[in-house]
A = this chain, B = another copy of it.
C-alpha cells in the first residue's frame, strides 16, 4: 500500500455543479479559499462551460482570479484546475492564470451523447485543438473518464472499452486519468478488475486517479481496493457534495473528510488537516441549505 496519497478536491466543481442551490461566485471563491488553507494541494475550482447549461459554474473566471490572487498573497503552494470542455471554454480559461485544465470523455456512447452532446469520437476530435492550445500555453491537462464502472443507459462496461478510451485520453497528452464511477455502482472487486486491465495494458500507476461516488456507500471500500492495487491519487468532494439533485439525502462524491479520516487511521499521509476540513464542510452545509452526505461532519 502507498505510504501517502494525493487528494484532488473536486467539491467546488463536480460537487457544486450537481447541486440545485446555485452559489454566487463570491461564495464559491470563499469555499475554495477555505479549502486552500486545509492542506489540500490540488483543487478543481470551476468549469468553463455554458452558463445556460450549467448555471452553477457561471463566473468561473472570477473564482479563478480571486483564488489565484489569494493563494499568491498567502504563499500557498497548490495547484488549481478547472474543467474545459472545448475551445470556447479554453478561451475563457486562458484569461486566467490557471495552469491545469481537465477534459472529460465518456466510456459509453449513450452517456457521451446525453452528457456532452457528441459521440466519443467527436469528443476526442475536439480535444486535439484544445490540447494543442494548452501545450502552446504551457497548461497541464488532466483527463476524466466517466461511466467507467457502469452507465445509466448501457449498464455494464467492458474492460476492453475502458482500456481503449483510457489510451485515447493518454494519447491526447493528459498527465493523469481520473476513473469516474459516475453513478456510484462499483464494487471493490470490479475496481480491482478494471485497474488490473488498465495496468496490464501499460497505463502507469501514477497516471491513474480514482473518482468514486458514494451513491451506494461503496466509495471508501473502492479507495481501499485501489490502494491495494498501488493507486495513490483520489478525487473527493468536501461534505460529499454532488449527490443526485433529484434525490435529497442521496450521497454524492466520496466526502474528502471521510477519506482523510480513514487514511489518517491507516497511517497514510495526505497533508490535510482533518479538523479544518470538517469545519469547511459544516460551513458549507449552511450555505447549500441541506444536510451533507459526510460521515465525519455529521459526527459530534
User: 1/0 contact trace for A181-193 toward B, CB 8 Å?
Assistant: 0001111111000
- A216→B262 contact, CB < 8 A: yes
A247-B298, A249-B291, A250-B300 known; A218 and B187 CB under 8 Å? Answer: no
The reply to whether the CB of A258 lies closer than 8 angstroms to some CB of chain B is: yes
- A295→B251 contact, CB < 8 A: yes
Q: In the bound complex, how far is the Cα of B295 from the Cα of A244, in angstroms?
A: 12
Residues of B within 8 A of A188 (CB): 224, 262, 266
Partner of A216, one of B223, B244, B261, B266: B261
A221-B224, A224-B224 known; A187 and B266 CB under 8 Å? Answer: yes
Residues of B within 8 A of A299 (CB): 184, 215-216, 244, 247, 250
Residues of B within 8 A of A296 (CB): 216-217
The reply to whether the CB of A225 lies closer than 8 angstroms to some CB of chain B is: yes
- Rounded to whole Å, the gap between the CB of A195 and the closest CB of chain B is 15
A185-B265, A265-B190 known; A251 and B218 CB under 8 Å? Answer: no
Q: In the bound complex, how far is the Cα of B98 from the Cα of A260, in angstroms?
A: 44
User: 1/0 contact trace for A209-224 toward B, CB 8 Å?
Assistant: 0000011111011011
Residues of B within 8 A of A225 (CB): 224
Residues of B within 8 A of A246 (CB): 300
User: 1/0 contact trace for A260-277 toward B, CB 8 Å?
Assistant: 011001110000000000
Residues of B within 8 A of A262 (CB): 187-188, 216-218, 221
Residues of B within 8 A of A217 (CB): 214, 220, 255, 258, 261-262, 294-296
- A267→B189 contact, CB < 8 A: yes
In residues 216-251 of chain A, which contact B (Cβ within 8 Å)?
216-218, 220-221, 223-225, 244, 246-247, 249-251
Most buried by B among A218, A244, A296: A218
Partner of A215, one of B215, B247, B250, B295: B295
Q: In the bound complex, how far is the Cα of B218 from the Cα of A250, in angstroms?
A: 17
Q: In the bound complex, how far is the Cα of B265 from the Cα of A5, in angstroms?
A: 27
Residues of B within 8 A of A189 (CB): 1, 265-267
Most buried by B among A1, A217, A251: A217
Partner of A300, one of B185, B221, B247, B261: B247
A-B contact pairs, 14 of them (CB 8 A): A186-B265, A188-B224, A189-B265, A214-B295, A216-B262, A216-B295, A217-B262, A217-B296, A218-B258, A249-B298, A250-B295, A250-B300, A251-B295, A251-B298
